[in-house]
A = this chain, B = another copy of it.
Amino acid sequence: MKNEMNPHQCQVVTALNTFVGKWKPIILLNLFVNGTLRFNELRKQIPDIKQRMLTLHLRELEEQDLIKRVVYAQVPPKVEYSLTEYGKTLGPLMNALHEWGENHLKHLETMKSPPLIKDPNS
């Protein structure tokens, strides 16, 4: 743990605020994994998301310079979303989260199921 880390003016919170929420991490992950996706392709990838929520969060992520939005002048409309170069800097963080999460699932298993038979040597 960084010793200059200060829980008040807090960069950890700054970081979290850019991509937490019910949908943002999933949207970002999909763009990491699939590259460029159209609006409806994202919807298919995230079946439970409502159109409204998808639009709102895409707009916010765009504001934050994490994703870019490219509109093609055609009908029916075509809009493509992808990570910006800056958005891609979240990659290592996503990996770290992924790994900790994976380990956490294992930890949950060991917590839920205590040994049925006590080890006689303990």
Q: A1-B95, A46-B7, A91-B1 are in contact. Are A101 and B32 (CB under 8 A)?
A: no
Binds B, one of A22-30, A51-59, A68-76: A22-30
Least CB distance, A1 to chain B, in whole angstroms: 5
Contact A12 B97 (CB under 8 A): yes
Sort chain A's interface into a size bin: 35 or more
Compute how far the CA of A96 lies from the CA of B14 in the bound complex, rounded to whole angstroms: 12
Compute how far the CA of A23 lies from the CA of B10 in the bound complex, rounded to whole angstroms: 12
Contact with B along A69-93 (1 / 0, CB 8 A): 0000000000000000010011111
Contact B94 A1 (CB under 8 A): yes
Mark A residues whose CB is within 8 Å of B. Answer: 1-2, 5-7, 10-16, 18, 20, 25-26, 29-30, 32-33, 45-46, 65, 86, 89-105, 107, 111
Name the one of B5, B6, B20, B26 contacting A10, with C-beta atoms under 8 angstroms.
B26
Contact B93 A100 (CB under 8 A): yes
Compute how far the CA of A92 lies from the CA of B96 in the bound complex, rounded to whole angstroms: 8
Contact A96 B98 (CB under 8 A): no
The 8 closest A-B pairs by CB, nearest first: A11-B101, A15-B101, A14-B101, A7-B29, A15-B97, A12-B97, A11-B102, A15-B100
